[in-house]
Structure 1
Amino acid sequence: MDLRLDELSVVTDGRTLVRALSLEVAEGQVVGLVGPNGSGKSTALRCVYRALRPSSGTVWLGEQDLTRLPLRHSARTVAAMTQDGGVDFDFTVEEVVALGRAPHLRGNQALSGRERELCERAMDQLDIGHLAQRGVLTLSGGERQRVLLARALVQEPKILVLDEPTNHLDVRHQVDLLSLLRGSGLTVLVVLHDLNLAAAACDRLGVLSQGRLVASGAPAEVLTTQLVGDVFGVRASVVPHPLTGDPQLLYSLNSTC
């Protein structure tokens, strides 16, 4: 299923956080949103997983207007991993992951055998199977990130929305997580701050600045020295990755625009 943001705007307390944002994520694509802090990336994502209602514009899931769908239906279609999606109670990892099945269950309905297998597979994919009986409040930040992604995957969504999913992860688990997204076959919209990871993991990038989309396209088209200087205020050399050819940025610590 494809995802489309059509002239999306968000105005709060007289401030325009997102301005007429139009962006398409084709079925099975991984599209990254990048931009400086406060540029509207997380706000746009909140409109997709219905934590925020846009002031104007439409979020389309395929041919359906998101706001016209029952909440349970959209929860079965869109799964989100958010920056503030932590768990306040000391549930076990296994219990938190199982919460991803909630949109598919009625009341206190127990998990089926298939659903338990789905949870186990997701935990194994995220390398947290050995933590299944641990309380989530005893985990490191990176381990919790992987638990939350496993919870999103067991939801069996068609569209996956992730806000800075590589936060707190070590290099290996950053690579593993983004490789998993690439091979998932899901329609993915992800906010990333690391431009080199974004270039490696995403089919297309959308660059936001002050709530506006200032560039979109393949990473090699978007990540230019000029754009990085104009939007992020830093000087960078852009070179091809020696193995993949993906654009990679080399920064100078004492060079700002």
Structure 2
Amino acid sequence: MDLVLDGLTVATDGRNLVHELSLEVPSGQVVGLVGPNGSGKSTALRCVYRALRPTSGAVLLGGEDLAGLSPRHGARLVAAMTQDGAVDLDFTVEEVVALGRIPHGRGNRPLTGRERELCERAMERLDIVHLAGRGILHLSGGERQRVLLARALVQEPRILVLDEPTNHLDVRHQVELLSLLRELGLTVLVVLHDLNLAAAVCDRIGVLSRGRLAKSGTPWNVLTPETVAGVFGVEVTVVPHPLSGSPQLLYSLPSERPTP
């Protein structure tokens, strides 16, 4: 299922946080949103998982306006892992993961055998089986990130929306998570701060600057020295990764720049 942000605008207090953002996320592809702090990345994502209502424009799922779908039906199509990942009650890890089945059930019915297997597989994929009986409030930030992603996978969405999913993760789990995104076959829209991680995992990248789409395309077309300097204000040298061939950015510190 494809996802389209169609002229999305979000305004508050007379200021546009996102301005006429149009971006396509083709079915089965991983598309990244990058940009400086305050550029509108998380705001755009909140419109996709319905935490915000856009001032104008639309979010289209398979050509259908998200605003016209019931909350339950929308939750069966879109799963989100947000940046804060706030959980107020100290549920166990296995209870939190099982919450992903709520859009598919009615009342307090117990999980079916298939649903229990689905939860177990998700916990195995995210390396959290050993945490199953632990309270989520007692986990580290990285452990909690993996629990919340497992919950999203158990939801069996067609579209996965992730806001800084590598936040708090160690290097091993960052690599494993990004590899998982490539293997899932889902339509994925992900916000990443690390441009090298974005280049490694994303089929396409959209660069936001002050709420507007500055550039979009493949990593090689987007992550150029000119774009990075213009949007992020840093100088980079772009080289191919020796194994994957994806672009890798080498940052220049001010002290390393040649004097004119």
Q: Contact (CA 8 Å) 2:6, 2:60: kept in 1 or not?
A: yes
Q: Distance in 2 between matches of 1:117 and 1:255?
A: 55
The residue number in structure 1 matching 2:252 is 252
- CA apart distance, 1:86: 2.0
How much has 1:109 moved relative to structure 2?
A: 1.2
CA distance in 2, matches of 1:201, 1:12: 33
Kindly indicate whether the alpha-carbon contact (under 8 Å) linking 1:233 and 1:256 is maintained by their aligned counterparts in 2: no
Q: Is 2:27 the partner of 1:27?
A: yes
Q: How many residues align?
A: 257
CA contact (8 A) 2:30 2:182 kept: yes
Deviations 1:36-87 (A, max 9, x none): 0000000000000000000000100002100000110000000000012221
User: 2:68 — aligned with what?
Assistant: 68
Structure 2: state its 5+ residue gaps: none
- The 8 Å contact of residues 85 and 145 in structure 2, kept in 1 or not, is answered as no
Asked if the contact 1:234/1:255 (under 8 Å) is kept, the reply is no
Whichever residue aligns with residue 215 of structure 1, its letter is K
Aligned equivalent of 1:201: 201
Deviation at 1:256, TM superposition (A): 10
Q: Which residue of 2 aligns with 1:147?
A: 147
Separation in 1 of the partners of 2:179 and 2:231? 27
4+ runs of 1 displaced by more than 6 Å?
A: none
Tell me the equivalent position of 1:216.
Answer: 216
CA distance in 1, matches of 2:67, 2:106: 22
> 1:243 corresponds to which letter in structure 2?
L
- Structure 1 residue 122: deviation in Å? 0.2
- TM-score normalised by length of structure 1: 0.98
Per the alignment, residue 160 of structure 2 pairs with: 160
Task: Return the offset for 1:255.
Answer: 5.8
| SS, match of residue 253 in structure 2 | strand
Provide the residue aligned with 2:109 in structure 1: 109
Deviations 1:173-230 (A, max 9, x none): 0000000000100000000000000000000000000000010000001000011100
- Residue 80 of structure 1 corresponds to 80
TM-score norm. by structure 2 comes to 0.97
Which residue of structure 2 lines up, in the alignment, with residue 176 of structure 1?
176
Q: Contact 1:235/1:256 (CA < 8 Å) preserved in 2?
A: no
> Relative to structure 1, is the Cα distance of residues 221 and 5 closer, same or farther in structure 2, using a 3 angstrom cutoff?
same
Instruction: Report the residue type matching 1:156 in the other structure.
Output: E
- Aligned partner letter, 1:240: P
What is the aligned-residue identity percentage?
A: 77
Deviations 1:97-152 (A, max 9, x none): 00000111111111101001000000000000111001111111000000000000
In structure 1, list runs of 5 or more residues that go unmatched.
Answer: none
- Superposition CA RMSD, Å: 1.1
